[in-house]
Amino acid sequence: MPAARAIREIGHRAINAVWRIGMATRFFVLILMYSGNSFRRFHLIIKELFSTGVMSLIIIIVAGLFVGMVLGLQGYETLKRYGSESALGVMVALGLVRELGPVVAALLFASRAGSAMTAEIGLMKATEQISAMEMMAVNPIARIVAPRFWAGVISMPFLAAMFSAVGVFGGYFVGVVQIGVDEGSFWSQMQAAVDFREDIMNGVLKSFVFGTVVTVIALYEGYDAPPTAEGVSGATTRTVVTSSLAILMLDFILTAIMFRGN
């Protein structure tokens, strides 16, 4: 019965997905429980901030610049038809601060830092480093996982803010410097339309949520990876796929909650 088998397969996958979400949530709670140590010894977090935050800087800045420039170009072409080129600044800034900044930065973060985290922890597990740590009476969640989690959570809003800031300059460069939109209206309309709490802080909040989700997925996949070469590479792929989908779905939900009715 192929139909029954197909339905059974769907059921199996659904159960598996729910089970993994449950395990990841449990893992998240464990991380929070064992986070005390990483704040007492903050240099553990600083070391991870370097490999997650600083190492992602270049890709974030370059990507932000180009996304802003494209927004400037496309926005100008569209707005020109309605004779409202002066609203270019508004369009670039709102697009970046509300959506593209948090989302694209989080997607890049997932593929740059998230996959590296999964691979590193998966390899640590495969080479018995995690078992060794446990045998030394050191809790690996407190010592290895929690500092990486907090580094991810801290660096994500900063990276998103830098992405947006650089993107606005990219839009400014294309719109004002290259095309010749009036500089005064570019900035003043932008400032009139972008609200600090409504737009910027909600963007920061979004990136904070994305940072948490991406880091938990990356760490869970690494910690859960089968200790083999295929296991680690599969986990790395799953990190990028799962966290990208999670970012986009959560973005829809968060946008619906935050910006509804405006």
Partner 1 sequence: MERTTLDLWVGIFVVGGIAALVMLAMKVGNLGTYNVSESYQVHAYFSNIGGLKPKASIKSAGVLVGRVTDITLDMDRYEAKVLMSLDSRYHFSKDTSAKILTSGLLGEQYIGLEVGGEEEMLKSGDEMTMTQSAVVLEDLIGKFLFSKAQESAN
Partner 2 sequence: MQQLGWPRLRLVCAVVECGSQIYGMPILSSSALVEICDLNFAYDKRPILQGINMTLPKGKLVAIMGLSGCGKTTLLRHIGGALKPTSGCVKFNGQVVHEQNQDELYAMRRKMGMLFQFGALFTDMSVYDNVAFQMREHTDLPEELIHDLVMMKLHAVGLRGTHNLMPSELSGGMARRVALARTVALDPMLIMYDEPFAGLDPISLTVVGDLIRRLNDALGATSVVVTHDVQESLKIVDYVYFMADGVIVAEGTPDQIRASDRDFVHQFVHGEMDGPVPFHYPGGDYRQDLSLKG
116 touches partner 1 (CB under 8 A): no
For residues 201-220, b (16+ Cβ closer than 10 Å) or e, as one string? ebbbebbbbbbebbbbbbbb
Residue 166 binding partner 1, by CB under 8 A: yes
The reply to whether 158 sits near partner 1 by the rule CB under 8 A is yes
Kindly state the DSSP code that residue 56 receives in the 8-state scheme. Answer: G
Shortest approach of partner 2 to residue 123 CB, angstroms?
8
Our finding on whether 63 is near partner 1 (CB under 8 A) is: no
Ramachandran bin of 203, using left for φ above 0, alpha for ψ from -120 to 50, beta for the remaining angles: alpha
Residue 69 or 121: the one with the smaller Cβ distance to partner 2 is 121
The residue range among 10-18, 42-50, 115-123, 137-145 that interacts with partner 1, by the rule CB under 8 A, is: 42-50
What kind and span of H or E run contains 166? helix 146-172
Q: Tell the smallest beta-carbon distance from residue 54 to partner 2 (Å).
A: 16
Neighbouring CB atoms inside 10 A of 30's CB total 16
Nearer to partner 1, 57 or 123 (CB): 57
Residue 34 CB: number of other CB atoms within 10 A? 17
Minimum distance of partner 2 from residue 221's CB (angstroms): 19
Between 122 and 171, CB nearer to partner 1 = 171
Residues binding partner 1: number (CB under 8 A): 34
Other beta carbons within 10 Å of 52: 28
10 Å CB burial of residue 124 (0-12, 13-18, 19+) is buried
Which residues bind to partner 1, rule: CB under 8 A?
43, 46-47, 49-50, 53-54, 57, 82, 84, 93, 97, 155, 157-159, 161-162, 164-166, 168, 187, 190-192, 194-196, 198-200, 204, 262
